[in-house]
Structure 1
Amino acid sequence: MEWLTRMNDALDLMERHMEESIGIEEIARAACSSPFHFQRMFNILTGMTVAEYMRRRRLTLAAQELAVSSAKVVDVALKYGYDSPESFAKAFRRLHGISPSEARDPDVPLKACPRISFHLSLKGDKEMDYRIVEKEAFTVVGKTIRVSLENCEEPGQQVPRFWQECNINGTTGRLASLSRDGHVLGICLDMRPDKEDYTYMIGAESRPDADASGLELREIPASTWAVFTAVGPMPDAVRNVFQRVFQEWFPSTGFEHAGKPEFERYPDGDTTSADYRCEVWVPVVKKG
């Protein structure tokens, strides 16, 4: 598949630039993709941002070099893109749990981030029903948090915890009452390829007369949306849909991510039920 070849071409390019700087634009170009779409695709498929993956790979190679050579720490730091031994040592300790000089001890275990590669998985066990919707710009009201992508484990914890807090303190119920249609939205905002965090809002499409005191207002731009239905208990059902969208749907269509906010649309109901249904809205654009 052409998509698979292009993604692996981008990985090859990244690997060749472990000892020098390379921008997301050049990496995405190797995959014949926009920077935003490549970054979002990479994050969904690997659980890491491109920057985090490059950092882990460089620190893996640096540890290997320190363990088998007499190279100075400062030289290894500069070789793998760090401006000072101090910044290198801080990043090194975060990944390996030890200082760079301790990596020379043969009895000290080191962590490794292996080079990844993308492979085609032909499942074909479930159809992906979707519809394309054109929607004008609209205003949302809600509460927000910043979600970090630097630690690939943390996003899976932050958002469900935020939902739990908003359910308990009554925010979710209030937002449903302010909504034009009674639905509550989970919205990913401020996603940028060169940043390792984004804003997540629990919100609603606001009525014109809604009392938004104490809440945040944001504008969702007009877009073309691919809309998918998620069935089952939350949050796993939504996560599965997002994974299938990026693993199966995008590679098999002529669309890519439009770089605008994406959101989940939740109707009232028991979100732990096996037959609970909600929607995932992904902004899309036809590839040029």
Structure 2
Amino acid sequence: MAMDTVRKTLWYIESHLEQPVTLDELAAIAGISRFHLSRSFAQAIGRSVTAHLRGRRLSEAARQLVDGAPDILSVALDAGYGSHEAFSRAFRDQFGRTPDDVRAGADLTSLKLVEPILMPDTPITAIETPEIRAVDGLLLAGLRRFFTYEDRAGIPLLWQRFGPHIDNIPGQIKGDAYGVCLKADGDPTDGFDYLAAVPMRSLNDLPDSLVGVRIPPLTFAVFQHQGHVSNIGATCAAAGEWLASERRMKPGVAVMMVEYYPPQFDPRTGLGGCEVWVPVSD
């Protein structure tokens, strides 16, 4: 139970990293009191909830600075600070260096960053037999980024950054959303590309900040995930074990796994249910 509480809290922090977040909100998402959340989180992670949240925001701010952010105030506001001065104090307390120094040096190696934390994915012990579903080709548009298997805890932040685009893309089919694991360029063994996306009628006239992907018609084994989305990794792990035991892996396809989020899924609470699809041979 404690690990489930921590998992939900970490998911909420990552998926709302650039929005105001209070301890009361986190406790409500976890379904326990502030006291019990703070105690469980510190015991599992080794630092308080507020220290972890602050460290994650300042670490992402440091990345923006090194990437050449045009002005420090905009980075400060994104990190939840109302002034350059308050941000600079917190940044110096966290890293021992000023934001100006980090931006000028364009180097993160001297900073002890607070990275997203990946909780272990334990496969669901009793999973329902999947539905075998033929899916027509999909046109998807969204944000795409490479993740190693170790840093995939950063995926909720990608969704948060994609959020403002949803329902504002010309040609979007509103209601559904998809998270697609794709083979990256060169088919590296240490990671994959993840696409946070929505379905489209056409990929013409996409904003420059988004990428379009065509998914060919495929047959999928479809697994239902009814719990909180922070534990979707357990369903993904169980789907992988089923695929291995049934020997139905489809070779030669770029799509490795799909998360399907129907209209009833609530991205704020992480509830509402979703599906995990894995391509299978016919």
Taking structure 2 as the reference length, the TM-score comes to: 0.48
Higher-Rg structure is: 1
